[in-house]
Amino acid sequence: MRLIQLFKKELSHEARTWVRDELVSEQQANSILARYGTSLNDDTDKNSFGYYLLMSLGVLFIGLALILIVSHNWDEIPRSIRTGSLLLLTLVTNAVGIKLFLSKRIRAGIIWLLFGGMSYGASIMLIAQIYHLGEHFPDGIFWWALGILPLVVFTQSRLLALLSLSLASIWLVVESGEDFFPTLYPIFISVTLWLTLFQARSRLLFLSCVVGLLVWINLGLAWIMGSGYHFDPVAEQLPFSLGLGLIINGVAWWLMRADKSDWREYGLVVHIWLLRAAIITLLVFSFEGVWEEYPSDQSWLSVISVIFILVSGMLAFRLSRASGRYASLPTLMLTGYLTFSFYLVSAFSHMEFISAIATNLMLLLMGILLIRRGIDQSETHYFYTGIVVLLLTAFIRYFDLIGDYIGGAVLFLVAAGILMAAAKYWKHHVTLIALKQGGHSE
């Protein structure tokens, strides 16, 4: 993704040169750049962005310094002066920020509002300390994040949204650490998603929302299993998480077909990270010992989790089918493999061996498909990822045999047969294409 962004910036820079040399008109240059989701105006304000970034970090450091200075002399200052000073600082900084923002000095206003947000958080923490309010300290972080949220909606600022979502995520962790369920976390996810989908582009915020949502849903499952009083994580959560991954991948393919270039970028970013997560997960599942940890009793929860994978796969296939075979085929393969493996392990005893073999075959098919996709679509990322998947599978299985030496040798021979069969099919397919092209030219 980083290379794609560099390519877009370089293309915008090159297009401005074409316009300046009168090789193309400004309208033609923008039409060309629009195909890649950029324009002549992109990257022209990078100097002001650098200023904005450094100023924002400076404000963050000032806020931290302020908290330390006040804390150092805290006991020597009368209580009323302490409280009044904190409230006054918060009100003044936010008022200045709003005034600058309304007078169209957007970035200066955002920086002041960021400082106001820091002051607001310091006020909550320190006033609570003065009056010994509340023993449940995560509440302070929650009210800090929630207090910034209206400013996110009002200014549509990505910086303030990042501050609010970061605080909300810290609250998610500490609240669950105190054995309470963070019920209101989706509020922060919803506002951030609204901002990134409809108002301001930010791949970081969008990806953070996806990760945060997955964590919150998993916490919710553990909370339900604990009868709504405490967290009780269970092994069956894993199939649920994998099913959610299938659905999100389907949504990513749907986003990649959207008219808005921002949405297409979000879809691509999510798809690439899910692909990496899927490969790592398969490599972990390729060990027989991992499957031995999964419960083999056919409980109602294990049955529901397998059904959930199947339904999620069907939904993901429905969402990705229109994007072509490289979208729908891996979805079908993964759905079939996960349903088969988890059902086998939960329904029958001593089936870990079969599930581990199925995982290794799945890695082979995934590697072949990625190499094929990389060559067909001229994208080196997928090509080299496919090669790495095949080499890692061979390396891991060489040092961690499934069964004895003979079993390992049989697995390598089966893998070689699959790779050669795929190569033969590929050659046959290329020959057919060449014959068709020859027939058309005659």
What is the per-residue pLDDT across 138-159, written as a single tens digit (0 to 9) for each?
888 999 999 999 999 999 999 8
Query: pLDDT tens for residues 89-131?
Result: 889 888 988 988 998 888 888 888 988 888 888 888 877 777 7
Determine the Cα–Cα distance for residues 254 and 112; give it in Å rounded to an integer: 39
Write down the pLDDT at residue 42: 64
Determine the Cα–Cα distance for residues 288 and 359; give it in Å rounded to an integer: 10
Residues lower than pLDDT 70 in the chain:
1-9, 37, 41-53, 66-67, 69-76, 132-135, 399, 401-408, 411, 425-430, 432-442
Token couple for 297: 């009793």
Token couple for 187: 């509020």
Write down the pLDDT at residue 24: 79
Write down the pLDDT at residue 78: 74
Determine the Cα–Cα distance for residues 287 and 360; give it in Å rounded to an integer: 9
Write down the pLDDT at residue 333: 92
Write down the pLDDT at residue 225: 85
